[in-house]
């Protein structure tokens, strides 16, 4: 199983049988590793409705026939465009062909501008994936909040993707606390260095993770981790 960081918060997962993309923001993303037309996906998984997370969702779903999975209001928004969707809600789980997906709380907002007006797209969420026993947590955009302890206590997380950019989400200091509470085996920092407002040092964050006995990976856009590497 292979996990490729595409820039910002975009993640591509190849299970060997299914291809998933989380929060596709490639067009207009100066840090994007690929173009939207290069993506082949079976499912598009969305944490919330901001444009830097759903930017290429419609394009990819329409081009590939992928199913969009998100919080119900967000799914309804894309269903109104004639796309295949599955709408869920916080705490809900479902066994997909690729594995089990659970939407977890995130402390953030969720909307998109349509004709100059903000349209509410449900609550923001994190995504917890059980991929044949390998547990992946994508926090989406979030502030530090104490229920992250509950997620970590209930799940033995193998790989977590945590925002560190600050300004719109938690910064490195709060992300370190989140990592300590979640206690995953591996952490990849995301949602940083795309724009000046969220400039951070990913390598320094990885060094700080070592102090709490967590392996960090400051992936550059386009770089990947394989489960065979993570087991070493």
> What pLDDT does 232 receive?
59
C-alpha distances out from residue 158 to 135, 152, 202, 211, Å: 5, 11, 19, 18
Provide the 8-state DSSP code for 195.
Answer: S
Go through the domains of the chain in sequence order and give each one's CATH number.
Answer: 2-218 (3.60.15.10)
Q: Which DSSP string corresponds to 8-62?
A: TTEEEEE-SS-EEEES---TT-TT-SS-GGG---SEEE-S---HHHHTTHHHHHH
- Encode the chain (232 residues) as per-residue pLDDT tens digits: 999 999 999 999 999 999 999 999 999 999 999 999 999 999 999 999 999 999 999 999 999 999 999 999 999 999 999 999 999 999 999 999 999 999 999 999 999 999 999 999 999 999 999 999 999 999 999 999 999 999 999 999 999 999 999 999 999 999 999 999 999 999 999 999 999 999 999 999 999 999 999 999 999 999 999 998 887 5
> What pLDDT does 231 receive?
74
Tokens coding 28: 């207009």
> 107 phi and psi, to 5 degrees?
-100, 95
């Amino acid at each position: 199983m292979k996990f490729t960081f595409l820039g910002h918060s975009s993640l591509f997962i190849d299970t060997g049988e299914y291809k998933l993309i989380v929060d596709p923001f490639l067009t207009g993303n100066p840090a994007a590793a690929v173009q939207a037309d290069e993506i082949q996906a079976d499912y598009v998984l969305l944490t919330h409705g901001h444009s830097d997370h759903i930017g290429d969702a419609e394009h990819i779903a329409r081009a590939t026939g992928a199913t969009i999975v998100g919080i119900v209001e967000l799914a309804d928004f894309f269903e109104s465009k004639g796309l295949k969707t599955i709408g869920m809600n916080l705490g809900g789980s479902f066994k997909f062909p690729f594995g089990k997906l659970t939407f977890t709380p995130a402390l953030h907002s969720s909307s998109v501008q349509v004709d100059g007006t903000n349209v509410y797209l449900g609550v923001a969420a994190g995504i917890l994936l059980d991929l044949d026993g390998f547990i992946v947590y994508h926090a989406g955009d979030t502030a530090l909040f104490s229920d992250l302890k509950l997620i970590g206590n209930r799940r033995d997380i193998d790989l977590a993707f945590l925002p560190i950019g600050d300004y719109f989400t938690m910064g490195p200091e709060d992300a370190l606390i989140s990592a300590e509470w979640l206690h995953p085996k591996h952490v990849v920092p995301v949602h940083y260095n795309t724009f000046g407002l969220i400039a951070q040092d990913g390598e320094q964050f990885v060094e700080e993770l070592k102090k709490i006995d967590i392996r960090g990976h400051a992936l550059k856009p386009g770089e990947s981790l394989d489960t065979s590497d993570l087991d070493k």
